[in-house]
Structure 1
Amino acid sequence: MEVWFIRHGVTRHNQDGIWQGQRDVPLAPEGYEQARRLAERLARAGLTWTALYTSDLARATETARILGERLGLTPRSDRRLREVCVGELSGLARRDVAERYGDYLARSREDPWNTRFPGGETMAELAERVWRFVEELGGGRYLVVSHGGAIRAAVLRTLAAATPAPWRIRLENTSITRLRFPEGVAAGGYVDSVGDAAHLEPGLLPES
């Protein structure tokens, strides 16, 4: 089984440094272009896909729609693929979080895996719900459009690791992270690639 996690295209909140969490923010114009470039890359790869899944948040469903139209797949929505709930931080700029939630940030640096976002989830809880989704997949090759925090959690769960710095896993918008489970999820898996965004490099894809 292979699971190709795709981070959604960029949003205005991403560009402006605003915490999103489960706030339903649409793609920015640049996000649509990123998704189109990714769709073209995947189409040219000539691979067969078992299914296309997506978070139910707009920035993911819009990305998945563009992929699905190019690849001939119908996106299937699953709430478990949502971003981590950041609670009171949703909609705040990074500078405001630093000013108002200094105590939380200090605790999070010490234990980012188990420190709860104010009024939200922990990374450990996020990992559990994303992993329940992965465990229900059968054999095949899947495209899964999700979010930065959710994808990081899936990577760390595959590695059986709770790193003290999950945010050091760099994931560009529309990047590809490939997980492979040769003998099923229960037997453990491998991380084949993380944050592959080669399709965003200028000149990689010829003009169509």
Structure 2
Amino acid sequence: MLFIEKEMRRRLIIGLVRHGKTDWNAEGKIQGQTDIPLNAEGLRQAEALSERLSREKRIWDAVVSSDLQRAQSTARIIAEKLAIPLLEGDPRLRERYFGEVEGTKELERHTRWGKDWRQVANGIEPDEAVRTRGLNAIKQWQSEHPNRKLLVVSHGSFLAQIISELCAELEDQHLNNLSYSILELRGEKWYPQLYNCTIHLDL
């Protein structure tokens, strides 16, 4: 009985949402930690996911996001629709810092630094650093609020790193704006319940 109770305490789910579209997304520019707001389409996307979640069985206790405005605006729309707390923005959930590449389009990157621009351009935050800050946030939530189910709104490159670290067997996919994923921790291992789902954008 004690073993079963211990295992139940160690079960945790988190939802992972990429923020809505911005003008820089539409133009193909890398944003990184440049603080770009949602555009009209991004706001509509956030409304679409919030509407979907309001019709599904409620599983989320609170929403937390990066402290960048495109993520915070997405999170606020969802939290208000679901009538659940919106926690303070967490800088550990920010997008990868892309250094001098931020604000550039693909052609410009290839022209200036070549196709291996990720290894050549200055100031790009390493994968390990992105994963470390994200995992530190998750571990803190587990420790302080082990039974709270959090919906996390963040950024594409950041979320890709976290998902790859927690569920290495998953196929690497481009995470679309307002994609919705769910991971469940059972014992010491994370399992995907939903991955990169955007059906709410097709309605």
In structure 1, distance between residues paired with 2:28 and 2:168: 30
Matching of residue 176 in structure 1 with residue 174 in structure 2 = no
Cα distance change, pair 107–91 in 1 and its aligned pair in 2 (3 A): closer
2:5 aligned partner: none
1:140 aligned partner: 148
Identify the match of residue 162 of structure 2 among 144, 154, 157: 154
TM-score by length of 2: 0.86
In structure 2, distance between residues paired with 1:78 and 1:153: 17
Identify the match of residue 42 of structure 2 among 17, 31, 38: 31
SS in 2 for 1:3: strand
Shift of 1:136: 1.4
Shift of 1:194: 1.7
1:206 aligned partner: none
Corresponding residue pairs, total: 187
1:201 aligned partner: 202
Encode CA deviations 1:92-121: one digit per residue, 9 max, x unaligned: 11111111111xx4274xxxxxx5862130
Between the aligned residues of both structures, percent identity stands at: 33
TM-score by length of 1: 0.84
SS in 2 for 1:53: strand
Unaligned residue ranges in structure 2 (runs of 5+):
1-11
- Given that 1:52 and 1:73 are in contact with CA atoms closer than 8 Å, whether structure 2 keeps it comes out as yes
2:85 aligned partner: 74
In structure 1, distance between residues paired with 2:128 and 2:43: 31
Shift of 1:142: 1.2
1:205 aligned partner: none
Identify the match of residue 119 of structure 1 among 123, 144, 168: 123
* Root mean square deviation of aligned Cα: 1.9
- Given that 1:5 and 1:143 are in contact with CA atoms closer than 8 Å, whether structure 2 keeps it comes out as yes
In structure 2, distance between residues paired with 1:7 and 1:83: 10
In structure 2, distance between residues paired with 1:195 and 1:65: 21
1:111 aligned partner: none
1:47 aligned partner: 58
Give the aligned residue type for 1:37: A
- Given that 2:109 and 2:117 are in contact with CA atoms closer than 8 Å, whether structure 1 keeps it comes out as no
Give the aligned residue type for 1:135: K
Unaligned residue ranges in structure 1 (runs of 5+):
109-114, 203-208
SS in 1 for 2:150: strand
Cα distance change, pair 107–63 in 1 and its aligned pair in 2 (3 A): closer
In structure 1, distance between residues paired with 2:44 and 2:56: 19
Shift of 1:139: 2.5
